[in-house]
């Protein structure tokens, strides 16, 4: 699952996925659109339900900050694959 929020200048992207060990990972990337400014953080969730709860919290936080949801897709969709490509570029920084 990939969810992205944006304002006119900033973005936040969350990716929930399982790693090769079956652990649930909650990845959060943020930054300024069109720049290299930002960050990336990975958190290990105990369960998928915990990761989904973190996503609900993130949705509330971003909404309160004036961000609008612009993407909510599964990993395997073309849109999800493009978001994953962008996320992997951040991981290399």
**Which pLDDT tens digit goes with each residue over 45-59?**
999 999 999 999 999
Residue 82 is predicted with a pLDDT of 81
Q: What is the pLDDT of residue 90?
A: 57
CB 1 within 8 A of CB 13: no
Global confidence as pTM: 0.84
Mean pLDDT of 5-30: 95
């Amino acid at each position: 699952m990939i969810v992205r929020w944006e304002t006119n200048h900033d973005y936040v992207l969350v990716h929930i996925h399982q790693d090769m060990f079956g652990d649930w990972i909650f990845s959060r990337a943020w930054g300024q659109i069109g720049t290299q400014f930002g960050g990336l953080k990975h958190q290990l969730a105990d369960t998928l339900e915990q990761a989904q709860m973190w996503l609900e919290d993130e949705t509330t936080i971003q909404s309160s900050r004036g961000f609008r949801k612009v993407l909510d897709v599964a990993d395997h969709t073309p849109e999800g694959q493009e978001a994953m490509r962008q996320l992997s570029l951040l991981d290399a920084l």
